[in-house]
Amino acid sequence: MNYKSSAPASSKGKLLREFHDKYIVIDLETTGLSSTMNEIIEFCGIKIENGQIIDELTILIKPSYPVDAFITSLTGISNEMLIDESDIESVIDEITDFLGDSILLGHNTNFDVRFLYDNLLNLRNTFFENNYMDLLSIVRKLYPSWRNHKLDTTAFKLNTINKPAHRAKSDCMITYEAYELCKNYIRENNIDYKSLFRYRRY
């Protein structure tokens, strides 16, 4: 797959700087980092309301080209696992129907949004406009002394029950748990959440 995102950035959803109690956690596994050159091989979305999981969608997706050894070693997703799965064009409507117009949450959410945006634009000529929150920017502001703010580090530092496995569902579960922990920490300590982003943005 090789295409370009041609729509203006103004047609994309916005990064939100406030907490929400109703949202969908998303995570993608892909064949690489470029949303115009690489492909989605796994999607997970978990619907949350008031801190509780109410629905979930997890899909393996067959790419146009074989998954290389590095991606398999990182994610555990092999070509054998994908051979009988549907391609992205066959499942994109199921994914967008599940997401609806919900607020999204991820870790470095812009990465996932770019892939969804470019696929929806190219396959359906439709803009992906969901607004979203980003756990990465939250933990960077709340815990600036950490050596890094990767999802693995976040899981370790916050002692989440779920542990990293570099699969879409496990990463969604860590993101959900860490977000709720951060949200409770901010509320319990009367932190002005919006002021954290007042002078510097990530």
Alpha helices in 16-127 (DSSP H): 69-75, 79-82, 88-99, 109-124
**pLDDT the model gives residue 164:** 87
For residue 94, tell me if it sits in a domain.
yes
Q: Give the range among 21-25, 81-85, 91-95, 161-165 with minimum mean pLDDT.
A: 161-165
**pLDDT the model gives residue 5:** 56
Sign, Cα dihedral of 13, 19, 23, 29 = positive
Q: Name the β-bridge partners of 58.
A: 44
Q: Name the β-bridge partners of 132.
A: 15, 104
**pLDDT the model gives residue 4:** 54
For residue 9, tell me if it sits in a domain.
no
**For the chain, what is the domain count?**
1
User: What's the rounded mean pLDDT across residues 22-27?
Assistant: 98
Q: Is the pLDDT of residue 1 over 90?
A: no
Nearest to 88 by CA among 29, 136, 129, 33: 29
Q: Is the pLDDT of residue 201 over 50?
A: no
User: What's the rounded mean pLDDT across residues 68-86?
Assistant: 97
For residue 3, tell me if it sits in a domain.
no
For residue 64, tell me if it sits in a domain.
yes
Nearest to 202 by CA among 131, 149, 146, 124: 149
| 180-192 per-residue burial string, b: 16 or more CB within 10 A, e: under 16 | bbbbeebeeeeee
Angstrom distance (rounded) from CA 109 to CA 133: 7
Q: Is the pLDDT of residue 202 over 50?
A: no
**pLDDT the model gives residue 167:** 96
32 is in which domain, residue-wise? Answer: 18-195
Q: Is the pLDDT of residue 99 over 60?
A: yes
Angstrom distance (rounded) from CA 34 to CA 36: 5
Q: With bands split at pLDDT 50, 70 and 90, how would you rate the model's confidence at 195? A: confident
For residue 144, tell me if it sits in a domain.
yes
Q: Domain holding 176: CATH number? A: 3.30.420.10
| 1-11 per-residue burial string, b: 16 or more CB within 10 A, e: under 16 | beeebeeeeee
- Is the Cβ–Cβ distance between 94 and 57 less than 8 Å? yes
**pLDDT the model gives residue 193:** 82
User: What's the rounded mean pLDDT across residues 168-181?
Assistant: 98
pTM of the model: 0.93
For residue 5, tell me if it sits in a domain.
no
For residue 59, tell me if it sits in a domain.
yes
Angstrom distance (rounded) from CA 2 to CA 4: 7
Q: With bands split at pLDDT 50, 70 and 90, how would you rate the model's confidence at 184? A: very high
For residue 132, tell me if it sits in a domain.
yes
How many C-beta atoms lie closer than 10 Å to residue 195's C-beta?
Answer: 10
Joined tokens for residue 76: 């555990």
pLDDT tens digits along 39-53: 999 999 999 999 999
**pLDDT the model gives residue 120:** 97
